[in-house]
Amino acid sequence: MAIRVSEYCTVLAQCLSPDGAFLAVADADVVNVFKLESVLNKEKTAKTVRIRFETQVLSLTSTFSDFLIVGGVSKISAFRWDDIEKAEAEETFSFRLKDDVDVNSATFLNAEAHLILGGGDNRVHVVDLETRTLLRSLDGHENFVHAVDAKSAAGIIVSGSEDGTVRTWDVRRKSALNAVIKPGENSNLKQPKLGTWVGDVSLSHDGDWLVCGGGVKSALWHTKTMTMTRLLLEDNENDFGVHVCKIIDEDNEGRVVVAGATRKAFQVDLASGSLLSEVATSSSVTYSMAWTWKPVNVLALAGSSSKVDVCSPNFSYKCKVFDFYD
């Protein structure tokens, strides 16, 4: 009996190119890059490049203009977006962390040209991308790091871990740790059957606000005081593990997308806390999200299936579903 590979697909990571022209989607050791215009126009020839990676792909991010960054087990590789546009997939450069460290999450600080990595070794790693050298490894988490985010303007890095803590860091200081919060200690956030792990973290563009969720319910926090402001889904009666909890706040609009082990992606207004929409998802569990404002509003959601849900031009409207193996 033939095995359908698509039935075993799990999309852990996605990334959009800086100009919004391409969407990179990862399953196992493969990164497929799709031309977004073709996806939105429902063309069958949307896929432009397939990258076969050395290990399982755990994270994707992009520099401000030049590179798609692929994170796996210890290895991090860079591919030029210009080459991808030409349907080429040659690795431009790569480097490795010591030991077999899962690079679970990655984000890029453009002003500093620093790559921030969340590791399976319980650390947050700061890498100078121009020299490909490890600048610092931030210790403090007692279990592996699920997610990282960072903002140059605020000088802040935030990390969320399986240990149930969210930590903020300032690498400009010798003692980088700023603060530690334990969402699971807040009785309003507890989901007793799910634990206290933190699956995702995200900062507002000015660094003043933080959202996080996981085994704990998703919530909004003020980074200056590290106090919880409110639950993000106050009227939701069903507990679920949160794997996506991200702020979208550009062009004077702010919203938070919350998704995970439920067949819905919730969108909440950042300022008022009101529920903006519930988008049905093709996957029973959503693990990854990518979004852009330009050249057109696009939000992509994917997880425990080969299907990728695309919302455009309204983030609240699912206009297209395509398959990783198309």
Q: What is the CATH number of the domain that holds 22?
A: 2.130.10.10
Q: What does the alpha-carbon distance between residue 179 and residue 181 come to, in Å, rounded to a whole number?
A: 7
pLDDT above 90 for 252 = no
DSSP state of 102: B
In the chain, the number of structural domains is 1
Residue 2 falls inside a structural domain: no
Residue 86 structural domain: 8-323
CA 211 to chain centre: 13
Tokens of 43: 């063309």
| Averaged pLDDT for residues 254-264 | 96
Residue 1 falls inside a structural domain: no
What pLDDT is attached to residue 4? 47
| Residue 167 · residue 175 · CB < 8 Å | no
pLDDT above 90 for 267 = yes
| DSSP H helix total and E strand total for the chain | 2, 28
Q: Which long-range contacts (CB under 8 A, 24 or more apart) does 142-145 make?
A: 143/197, 144/102, 144/104, 144/119, 144/120, 145/104, 145/105, 145/118, 145/119, 145/120
Percent over 90 (pLDDT), the chain? 78
Residue 308 falls inside a structural domain: yes
Q: What is the pTM of this model?
A: 0.94
How confident is the model over 171-222, as pLDDT tens digits?
A: 888 888 889 999 999 999 999 899 999 999 999 988 899 999 999 999 999 9
Supply the DSSP string of 149-218, one letter for each residue.
EEETTTTEEEEEETTS-EEEE-TTSSS-EEEEE-GGGSTTT--TTT-S-EEEEEE-TTSSEEEEEESSPP
Q: pLDDT band for 83, please (50, 70, 90 cuts).
A: very high
Tokens of 239: 């507990």
pLDDT above 70 for 1 = no
Q: What does the alpha-carbon distance between residue 196 and residue 149 come to, in Å, rounded to a whole number?
A: 19
How confident is the model over 95-111, as pLDDT tens digits?
A: 999 889 999 999 999 87
Alpha helices (H) along the chain:
36-40, 81-85
What pLDDT is attached to residue 315? 92
Round the average pLDDT of the chain to a whole number and report it: 92
One-letter amino acid for residue 4 of the chain:
R
Q: pLDDT band for 2, please (50, 70, 90 cuts).
A: very low
What pLDDT is attached to residue 48? 84
Q: What does the alpha-carbon distance between residue 22 and residue 67 come to, in Å, rounded to a whole number?
A: 12
Residue 147 falls inside a structural domain: yes
How confident is the model over 25-73, as pLDDT tens digits?
A: 999 999 999 999 999 987 766 778 999 999 999 999 999 889 999 999 9
pLDDT above 70 for 248 = yes
Measure the CA angle with vertex 287, ends 285 and 290; round to 5°. 130
Return the minimum-mean-pLDDT range out of 33-47, 122-136, 137-151. 33-47
Return the minimum-mean-pLDDT range out of 12-16, 28-32, 301-305, 312-316. 312-316
Residue 168 falls inside a structural domain: yes
Tokens of 243: 């794997």
| Residue 119 · residue 145 · CB < 8 Å | yes
